[in-house]
């Protein structure tokens, strides 16, 4: 009995000593906090990417011509395939193939004729002027045909064709099968020598008609790309409410 009592007393003394020393016999490891769930926000541009110059096209369209920026992109693609160093045999230069005399008239020095921003802004100003000249064509979609034809051929040749259309009983504010027909006929002496014409013979009618069609076709292709891209963004936003759209 004494031996058992002594053993019990020893264990009791050891237990009290451990408690007093601050140690714990049973150690429970703390449970680590669950990591907080982080919300990832995806930023998506609302614009389809067409070229390295999209931001300048949008700026020019918003601040100068007030048109769909993809129209400017379509003109640039048709004129130069987005080559900012392009020069034509006629002397047109840069991304938008603007003539030197036009750039100089807008105050752009010769050293800046190939500068991308200057070239795009000058083209937008030129288009704005044509838009004002043809303001009597109330339907904007129709007016763009005259604007584009003037961009390629010059406003004088298009104006001659309009005067011929009026003289021969056609609608001078309608492009297809009206003014475009008389632009073709301006290659013939009996028409370009008419007293209503002020700008002489026009031989490059085929190039101008193709230019109008190519730009409009490319513009529509860009518009279709944008619509498909918008649908994709819309679906993305519907699937995840944390997605935000950032406007460039």
pTM of the prediction?
0.80
In this prediction, residues 134-153 reach a mean pLDDT of: 97
Distance of alpha carbon 93 from alpha carbon 155, whole angstroms? 19
Q: Which of 231 and 169 is assigned the larger pLDDT?
A: 169
Please state the domain extents for the chain. 53-133, 138-220
| Residues designated as active site | 79
In this prediction, residues 19-31 reach a mean pLDDT of: 50
Q: What is the pLDDT of residues 163-207, one digit of tens each?
A: 999 999 999 999 999 999 999 999 999 999 999 999 999 999 999
By CB neighbour count within 10 A (0-12 exposed, 13-18 middle, 19+ buried), where does 183 fall? buried
For the cut 50, the answer to whether the pLDDT of residue 21 exceeds it is yes
* Tokens at 97, concatenated: 């193939």
- CA 102, 106, 110: angle at the middle one, nearest 5? 70
| CATH code of the domain made up of 53-133 | 1.10.530.10
């Amino acid at each position: 009995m004494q031996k058992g009592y002594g053993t019990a007393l020893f264990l009791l003394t050891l237990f009290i000593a451990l408690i007093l020393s601050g140690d714990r016999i049973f150690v429970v490891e703390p449970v680590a906090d669950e990591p907080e769930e982080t919300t990832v926000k995806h930023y998506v541009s609302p614009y389809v990417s067409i070229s390295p110059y999209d931001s300048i096209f949008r700026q020019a369209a918003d601040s100068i011509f007030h048109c769909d920026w993809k129209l400017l992109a379509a003109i640039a693609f048709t004129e130069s395939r987005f080559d900012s160093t392009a020069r034509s045999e006629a002397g047109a230069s840069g991304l938008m193939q603007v003539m030197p005399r036009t750039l100089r008239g807008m105050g752009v020095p010769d050293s800046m004729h190939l500068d991308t921003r200057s070239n795009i802004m000058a083209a937008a100003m030129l288009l704005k002027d044509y838009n004002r000249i043809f303001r009597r064509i109330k339907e904007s979609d129709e007016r763009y045909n005259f604007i584009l034809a003037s961009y390629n051929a010059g406003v004088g040749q298009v104006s001659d064709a309009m005067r011929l259309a009026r003289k021969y009983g056609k609608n001078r504010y309608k492009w297809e099968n009206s003014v475009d027909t008389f632009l073709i006929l301006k290659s013939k002496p009996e028409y370009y020598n008419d007293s209503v014409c002020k700008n002489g013979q026009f031989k490059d009618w085929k190039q101008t008609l193709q230019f109008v069609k190519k730009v409009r076709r490319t513009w529509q292709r860009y518009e279709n790309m944008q619509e498909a891209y918008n649908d994709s963004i819309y679906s993305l936003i519907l699937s995840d409410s944390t997605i935000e759209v950032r406007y460039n």
